[in-house]
Structure 1
Amino acid sequence: MKVGILREGKTPPDKRVPLTPEQCVEVMRTFPEVTVVVQPSPIRSFTDDEYAALDIPLQEDLSDCDVLLGVKEVRIEDFIPGKIYFFFSHTIKKQEYNRKLLQTVLEKKIQLVDYEVLTNKDGFRIIGFGRFAGLVGAYNGLRAFGLKNVLYELKPAHQCADLAEMLHHLENVNLPPVKIAVTGDGRVAGGVLEVLEHLKVMRVTPEGFLNETEPESAIYVQLLPNNYAKRTDGEAFDLMHFFNHPEMYENSFHPFAEATDLLIASAYWDPKAPVLFTSEEMKDPDFRISVISDITCDIEGSIPSTKKASTIDDPFYDYNPQSGDLEDAFSNPKNVSVQAVDNLPCELPKDASLDFGRNLIDKVFPSLFIKDKDAIIEGASITKDGKLTEPFLYLQDFANGK
């Protein structure tokens, strides 16, 4: 089997790779029947020369490959018919901007395996860049808090050589007794907690967070759905019921909105679920949050101040709660300052790629190259032989243009 590493073609360019040069060598040693080649690229965090130095062939034309590995969406004009493609397709939520991509994949009879839906036999995701989104999102939130309050300045994450340097800069930060709320408990939230624990911020319970009106030092709380959503029928909160029937819940975050200085939003949000808070609630004089790092970055989603995605080069903007308008970052102390970069792992591309490739080798490739005994590849294949697979038949009308 021949595997090709794709050149990332999406704009803005993505410097991440699915496999580092050393990992390409490891793949061929671990799976002797597999050959790995790399499409040349001027923008990768790992250069063409680094691959060539380890005798990984550089190959512009990948039409003789069986499997093609990328990170972000492949350009429509670059698809090669009949191949197996792995990348983040951003189609499973019927994203309008990728309708043509899905249609092209079907037309060219491509087997599209989406990283986002690769799960183990128990249904849990096994790969992604979530941890690095959390690490950088927390760092950016702390950076924004320092800039807004003229407390300290942190070097932008994307200017750091690696994760170790980014964390090193945090060691020079002396946080005031700020109160930080983190939503979620997945990989993204795990990355956030790594940063807060590196800073030695004290963790407290939700009850302690609400009761601690004037803490002596910085504290943080991790909030789960039962802390910020409640059933509309008055019944007790049930997590599985919430996942299956999110429309039967309403937000109950307001007590935390009155007690939080910095919100780091890292919880997955279902559009059928209640928002975390409304734009009207943000007008309340008791709404205390002054900085929001919205790692989830759902535009006009659970957090009303996230009205657009920001960029790595320009990561912050202000939201005026009274007018609902966006203004220049840190231009008015009464505004809420927002971090909403939608490609956070790209700020630490080498570390993120290394972590991602490790999971590919350990958790995905045995099913791809040996035997798919737990249907890992099968279950993540959105399309095959020109048709949507059974789990993704709900996309048929979307693919048909409806």
Structure 2
Amino acid sequence: MRHESRRTERRAALVPEDARRLIASGVHLTVEESPQRVFPVHAYADAGCAITQPGSWASHCPATDIVLGLKELPDEPADLMHRHIFFGHAYKGQPEAPRLLRRFEAGGGTLLDLEQLVDAEGHRIAAFGYWAGYTGAALAVLQHRGELTAPLAFSSREELRRRLGPGRRRGGGVTAVVIGADGRSGRGACDALRTAGIEPTRWGPDHTQDLDRDALLAHDILVNTIGSDRPVPPFLTKADLDNERRRLSVIADVTCDVGSELNTLPVYDHITDWNNPVERLREGPRPLDIIAIDNLPSLVPAEASRAFSADLWPLLLSLREGSEVWDRCRAAFRHAVASLGGRG
């Protein structure tokens, strides 16, 4: 399990107690030291893991090893020869996708993308969705109240709960809509809003298929937790933001598909981050802000990691024997590489 090169990435794909379970099942697990990971390296050593220096996977791991992470790889090595497990964000036409896939193609490696860990019906079976929705909605509420400060510096769900309520509830009169309310991310978003004293309007597939943009614009807060695997009419356009009847003042786009033709909210052109969490889309007497952070669950790293690790570690065991879940990951990777052609 590699160190995460992004300084604000504090999560772990495996927590120490699940690392112990893998080792008890005969897996040899090496963990790189990491100054920002929420779990100290000695907890992994106590679980039986070998410990090594950050970034050592690139020069010291045999080509047969599997390298586990969460977010983007460093720029070096240019050619990737290992099997890597992480969120590659490479299959929806994102601008950086061709370059990443070319690196695997050049080195003969494989991307087993965590986004593709799905069952036969296409439902995710290991995801950070709940905590992405929860933190995205929480940040939107704090921004609407004028209480969100940068850089972001939360450490746990309990800290977020204290900031949202119950003693500080000020939800009266504030309205919020959650798109994709029945999914993992949507449930997290609804829970955060209720903690803040706001009963959310819940939208599902029926609402997006016959979308009422005026109804979206009539809310104070919009939390989008649903992505698309095919191009669909956007939920909002830049022209919609100039609607004179717009009440909407804060958007939290949990999906962060910016730059992709599958982006359902093409009203902004770059993600935000912990140092600059909010982008102002409209100035004036009716300002409009967007929050589009692509590692939201790292704001509650321990809780998010434990939930994800509990889903992931049994799947990692199945890598030895092979499984349909990982076969689907490999097939998605091969299709993406074959689709590159002369691009990028």
TM-score range, shorter chain: 0.7 to 0.9
Distance 1:302 1:372, change over 3 A: same
Distance 1:49 1:80, change over 3 A: farther
Task: Select the residue among 14, 17, 26 that pairs with 1:19.
Answer: 14
**Structure 2 residue aligned with 1:224:** 204
3-state SS in 2 of match to 1:292: strand
Task: Select the residue among 275, 281, 284 that pairs with 2:234.
Answer: 275
* Structure 1 unaligned blocks of 5 or more: 148-152, 203-219, 231-251, 321-326
How many angstroms does 1:270 deviate by?
5.0
Aligned counterparts of 1:289 and 1:81: Cα–Cα separation in 2? 44
* Structure 2 unaligned blocks of 5 or more: none
How many angstroms does 1:278 deviate by?
2.3
Distance 1:400 1:316, change over 3 A: same
Aligned counterparts of 1:298 and 1:98: Cα–Cα separation in 2? 12
How many angstroms does 1:401 deviate by?
2.6
**Structure 1 residue aligned with 2:3:** 7
Task: Select the residue among 42, 49, 52 that pairs with 2:42.
Answer: 49
**Structure 2 residue aligned with 1:381:** 330
Aligned counterparts of 1:156 and 1:26: Cα–Cα separation in 2? 38
How many angstroms does 1:200 deviate by?
5.0
Aligned partner letter, 1:26: R
Task: Select the residue among 333, 336, 339 that pairs with 2:291.
Answer: 339
**Structure 2 residue aligned with 1:143:** 142
Give the 5 Å matches for 1:300-379.
Answer: 301-320=263-282, 332-362=284-314, 364-369=315-320, 371-373=321-323, 375-379=324-328
How many angstroms does 1:117 deviate by?
0.6
- 8 A Cα contact 1:229 1:253, kept in partner: no
After superposition, the C-alpha distances for 1:365-384 in whole angstroms (9 at most, x for unaligned) are 24213x334x111111258x
- 8 A Cα contact 1:113 1:382, kept in partner: no
After superposition, the C-alpha distances for 1:301-345 in whole angstroms (9 at most, x for unaligned) are 43344333211122123222xxxxxx6xxxx43221222222212
Most deviating of 253-262 and 297-306:
297-306
Larger Rg: 1
Task: Select the residue among 139, 146, 163 that pairs with 1:169.
Answer: 163
How many angstroms does 1:49 deviate by?
3.2
**Structure 2 residue aligned with 1:109:** 108
How many angstroms does 1:80 deviate by?
8.0
How many angstroms does 1:163 deviate by?
1.3
**Structure 1 residue aligned with 2:184:** 187
- 8 A Cα contact 1:68 1:86, kept in partner: yes
Aligned partner letter, 1:372: G
Distance 1:40 1:157, change over 3 A: same
**Structure 2 residue aligned with 1:213:** none
- 8 A Cα contact 1:154 1:170, kept in partner: no
**Structure 2 residue aligned with 1:291:** 250
3-state SS in 2 of match to 1:381: helix
Aligned counterparts of 2:266 and 2:98: Cα–Cα separation in 1? 26
3-state SS in 2 of match to 1:159: coil
**Structure 2 residue aligned with 1:99:** 98
Distance 1:315 1:154, change over 3 A: closer
Aligned counterparts of 1:121 and 1:309: Cα–Cα separation in 2? 31
After superposition, the C-alpha distances for 1:100-124 in whole angstroms (9 at most, x for unaligned) are 2211212222232111011123331
How many angstroms does 1:22 deviate by?
2.3
Distance 1:141 1:19, change over 3 A: same
- 8 A Cα contact 1:135 1:192, kept in partner: yes
Equivalent residues, number: 332
Give the 5 Å matches for 1:127-142.
Answer: 127-142=126-141
How many angstroms does 1:50 deviate by?
3.3
Identical aligned residues as a percent: 25
- 8 A Cα contact 2:31 2:49, kept in partner: yes
Distance 1:157 1:75, change over 3 A: closer
- 8 A Cα contact 2:117 2:126, kept in partner: yes
3-state SS in 1 of match to 2:76: helix
Q: Quick check: 1:197 aligned with 2:194?
A: yes
How many angstroms does 1:156 deviate by?
7.5
Distance 1:142 1:13, change over 3 A: closer
3-state SS in 2 of match to 1:368: coil
Aligned partner letter, 2:322: D
Aligned counterparts of 1:180 and 1:78: Cα–Cα separation in 2? 45
After superposition, the C-alpha distances for 1:228-275 in whole angstroms (9 at most, x for unaligned) are 433xxxxxxxxxxxxxxxxxxxxx322313531211121214562001
Distance 1:380 1:357, change over 3 A: same
Alignment TM-score, normalising by the size of structure 2: 0.86
Aligned partner letter, 1:224: G
**Structure 2 residue aligned with 1:240:** none
- 8 A Cα contact 1:182 1:222, kept in partner: yes
